[in-house]
Amino acid sequence: MLRHLPTSKVIPIVAWFLSATTGSQAHTSIVLTLDERTVCVANQDSGSVSLWDWQVATEPVEIPVGDEPRMLALIPGNRLVCVTTQRSQELALVDLTTHACIRRIPIGGQPVGVTISSDGRYAFVAQFAGDYWDGEYHAGSVAVVDLQKQIVHARISVRPCPFAMAMSTDGHQVYVSHYLAVDGTGWVSEIDAHTFRVTREFSLDEDLDSASGRGGVFNGLASLAVHPRENRLLVAGMQANVHRGLK
C-alpha cells in the first residue's frame, strides 16, 4: 500500500499545442523507444545504460557510459539515446542499433536533466552545479548541445539548481525545474527553444495551511511532465512543512 505520495502542482502555461500525438520529452531515467521494442534504463550505480528488447525476452545489453548516469532522452528521427552522467559531467550518446556508446560530450556543471528539441538538433541539459563562461560564474545553467556537431552550442543562465527538464508538445518551449526552493519559493523556468532565452518564470509559493499538516514550502522539484492535450505542466516535488512544531 502506498502511504506517502510526492506532492505535485499544476501550472497553467500559455502555449498552442499543435498535436497531442507527437509527445513531449520528459525527465526520466527509463524510456521506451517509439517502436515500443527497446527499454532503455540508466544504471546510476554501475555507470551504464541497459537496453532490453522485451518482445523477444533476451538478456539486457549493458553499455558503459560514464560515472553516475542520471537521465535519458530519445533523439527523434534516429536510433540514438542521450544520457547525462553527473559525475563524469558529460552527455553520452548511445547507438540503439550497434549497442555502443559512440560519443561522450563534455558538459560540466554536474548535468542531470535532459530534453531534446523537436527536430532532434539540440539537447538541453540542466547543469545542477552551474558553470563558468565569459569570466563569470552562473549558479544555474542550461547547456544547449548541438547533436550534429556534438559540441556545446550555447549556455543559458537560469536560477540555481536546475534539475528536471521537459519540452512542450509543440516544441517551442523548454521547461526546467529548480530543485531547491529559495526563501520559501519554488521555481520553474521557461526557455524559448529557438532563441535560447528565458521567457518566463513560474513561482510556486509556500502553502501557509500548516495546521492541516499538508502545507509548507514546495521543495525538491524532481520531475516535470507536460500534459499532451491541455496547457498544463505537472511539477512533482516535496511539500516541506517548515512551521510544524513551532506553534
**Residue 161, by phi and psi: left (phi above 0), alpha (psi -120 to 50) or beta?**
left
Q: What is the pLDDT of residues 18-27, one digit of tens each?
A: 222 233 456 6
**Does residue 160 surpass a pLDDT of 50?**
yes
The Cα 222–Cα 112 span in angstroms is 10
The Cα 73–Cα 183 span in angstroms is 32
Q: What is the pLDDT of residues 86-112, one digit of tens each?
A: 999 999 999 999 999 999 999 999 999
Q: What percent of the chain clears pLDDT 90, i.e. is strictly above it?
A: 58
More confident residue, 12 or 166: 166
Which pLDDT does position 14 carry in this prediction?
36
**Does residue 136 surpass a pLDDT of 50?**
yes
In this structure, how many other beta carbons lie within 10 angstroms of the beta carbon of residue 20?
12
The Cα 18–Cα 1 span in angstroms is 39
Report yes or no: 66 and 49 within 8 Å, Cβ to Cβ.
Answer: no
**Does residue 36 surpass a pLDDT of 90?**
no
The Cα 2–Cα 24 span in angstroms is 28
Which pLDDT does position 77 carry in this prediction?
78
